[in-house]
Amino acid sequence: MARGAVSELVVPLRNAWNITRYKRAPRAVQIIKNQVVKHLKVTEDEEVWIDPAVNEKIWERGIENPPRKIRLQITRHDEPDIPIEVKLMEE
């Protein structure tokens, strides 16, 4: 399995706080996906895979209180059948 380009991305989630408090965590996940698509210029046939650790990090304080920003590690693989991976950056 050949590893592709790895990049780091800090995604601000401040726009998740502009909607009803009971929809903030799902909106934060959607913001992350949109930022990755925009940052990597993802085509329609490519798939974006978000690691469950990212989802757990967003939801750890509940639906009303997601983090204000999150640091991610994004990997684009060379093979077309393997999706773009979005993982939580280890500190």
Domain CATH code at residue 30: 3.10.440.10
Q: How many domains does the chain fold into?
A: 1
pLDDT of residue 91: 66
Taking the CA atoms of residue 2, residue 88, residue 73 and residue 84 in that order, the dihedral angle to the nearest 10 degrees is 50
Q: Which amino acid is at 64?
A: E
pLDDT digits (tens, 9 = 90+) for 27-66: 999 999 999 999 988 888 888 999 999 999 999 999 999 9
Minimum mean pLDDT range among 8-12, 37-41, 80-84: 80-84
Report pTM: 0.87
Structural domain range at position 64: 5-88
